[in-house]
């Protein structure tokens, strides 16, 4: 019985070590930019708002030189409205961070797990990016067009402006008529990179073999 227990412990230890060595290389994001847009029902310049939010951390995981996936933590406390005057900026930013919308005290971070990149041909963007977005504790699979470049372990992703339905993530005024004057679609656009690279020598992402 003791020998059997010892054998089981050894097997468990080997499994744990193997799990730790899942990726041959981890490449951390060193530069990022995330922008957002929200709209009222009448979508005009005067009835829309835009701003920024910061990436807290990000990384790409590689198997040899093949990009496997990516993990990104978004600091929701850094959300800022950037298209209004100082007084209105503070008011709008506080409203976005409150329980009316993103509840940043309860949900200080959002997460995006990049799961798959499918190369595209004859398109403005060279890839479709797939992944799981967790916002306000709700996880949804999303996809969007992007230009993706991978050279060895250097990675750059420049997304198109794409839409999310805020109600999918419970982002709305609770029991308020105000919510009916806001469009459900909010737009996001971002760029993340592991380091600066020569634009003329970028290599589009390749399919995994």
pLDDT over 60 (residue 35): yes
- Containing H/E element for 132? strand 127-135
Query: pLDDT per residue over 48-92, tens digit each?
Result: 889 999 999 999 999 888 899 999 999 999 999 887 667 777 888
91 within some domain: yes
pTM above 0.85, yes or no: no
136 within some domain: yes
The C-alpha atoms of residue 205 and residue 192 are separated, in whole angstroms, by 15
117 within some domain: yes
Of the candidates 24, 105, 115, which has an alpha carbon nearest to the alpha carbon of residue 65?
24
Strands 162-165 and 66-81: unpaired
Query: pLDDT per residue over 40-60, tens digit each?
Result: 876 555 568 899 999 999 999
| CB atoms inside a 10 Å sphere around CB 31 | 13
64 within some domain: yes
2 within some domain: no
CB 129 within 8 A of CB 158: no
The more confident residue out of 199 and 158 is: 158
Q: How many CA atoms lie within 13 A of 119 on its CB side?
A: 10
| Count of domains forming the chain | 1
Give residue 43's pLDDT.
53
In three-state secondary structure terms, 195 is: coil
Q: What is the CATH number of the domain that holds 172?
A: 2.40.128.110
Which whole number is the average pLDDT over 101-106?
Answer: 94
Residue range of the domain that includes 34: 25-196
Query: pLDDT per residue over 119-166, tens digit each?
Result: 998 889 999 999 999 999 999 999 999 999 998 888 999 999 999 999
């Amino acid at each position: 019985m003791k020998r059997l227990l010892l054998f089981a412990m050894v097997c468990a230890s080997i499994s744990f070590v193997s799990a730790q060595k899942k990726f041959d290389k981890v490449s951390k994001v060193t530069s990022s930019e995330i922008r957002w847009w929200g709209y009222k029902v009448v979508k005009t310049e005067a009835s829309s708002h835009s701003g920024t939010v910061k990436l807290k951390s990000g990384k790409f995981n590689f198997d040899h030189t093949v990009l496997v996936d990516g993990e990104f933590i978004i600091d929701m406390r850094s959300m800022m409205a950037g298209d209004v005057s100082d007084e209105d900026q503070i008011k709008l930013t506080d409203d976005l961070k409150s329980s009316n919308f993103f509840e940043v005290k309860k949900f200080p971070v959002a997460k995006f797990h990049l799961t798959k990149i499918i190369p595209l041909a004859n398109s403005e963007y060279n890839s479709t990016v797939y992944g799981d977005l967790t916002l306000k504790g709700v996880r949804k699979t999303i996809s969007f067009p992007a230009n993706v470049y991978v050279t060895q372990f250097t990675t750059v992703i420049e997304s198109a402006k794409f839409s999310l339905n805020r109600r999918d993530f419970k982002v709305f005024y609770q029991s308020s008529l105000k919510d009916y004057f806001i469009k459900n679609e909010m737009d996001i656009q971002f760029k993340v990179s592991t380091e600066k690279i020569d634009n003329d020598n970028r290599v589009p992402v390749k399919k995994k073999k």
